[in-house]
């Protein structure tokens, strides 16, 4: 069976009480993402700061993430400031990271190639 790259997979619904992945697995999953993503909160979330030339470009990037997040029904925490968009992912229902977070991170990376 051939496994699809993370950016070609889709997020799956997660129920409250689902188990988050252990930090050791999260560290392995992090290696499948482009550089810049960091594991934080004792392995319970991932974060990356994307840099832009101005506020408008950062805001436009956040808007594109919003559309993508709605399509995947998995929503990141976003922070937009002049020249930067900060993306933090974790699965709230699981209280930590799940495959969905890494799938959405990989899909967000595809937005930078536009």
Q: What's the chain's average pLDDT? A: 93
Tell whether the model's pLDDT for residue 113 goes beyond 80. no
Summarize the confidence of residues 81-108 as an average pLDDT.
96
Note the pLDDT tens digit of each residue in 61-74. 999 999 999 999 99
pLDDT band, very low/low/confident/very high, at 18 (cuts 50, 70, 90): confident
Q: List CB contacts of 103: < 8 A, sequence separation 6 or more.
A: 6, 7, 9, 10, 11, 72, 74
Share of the chain above pLDDT 90, in %: 85
Confidence of residue 15 (pLDDT cuts 50, 70, 90): confident
| Domain assignments of the chain as residue spans, ordered by start | 44-114
CA distance linking residue 104 with residue 97, whole number of Å: 12
Between CA 33 and CA 107 the distance in angstroms is 10
pTM (2 d.p.): 0.94
Q: Between these two residues, 89 and 14, which has the higher pLDDT value?
A: 89
| CATH fold for domain 44-114 | Gyrase A; domain 2 (3.30.1360)
């Amino acid at each position: 069976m051939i496994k699809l790259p993370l950016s070609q997979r889709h997020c799956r619904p997660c129920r409250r009480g689902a188990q988050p992945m252990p930090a050791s697995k999260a560290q392995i999953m992090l290696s499948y993402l482009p550089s810049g993503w960091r594991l934080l909160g004792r392995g319970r979330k991932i974060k990356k700061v994307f840099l832009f030339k101005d506020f408008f470009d950062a805001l436009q990037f956040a808007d594109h993430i919003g559309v993508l997040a709605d399509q995947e029904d998995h929503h990141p925490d976003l922070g937009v400031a002049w020249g930067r968009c900060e993306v933090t992912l974790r699965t709230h229902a699981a209280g930590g990271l799940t495959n969905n977070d890494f799938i959405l991170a990989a899909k967000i990376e595809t937005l930078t190639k536009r």
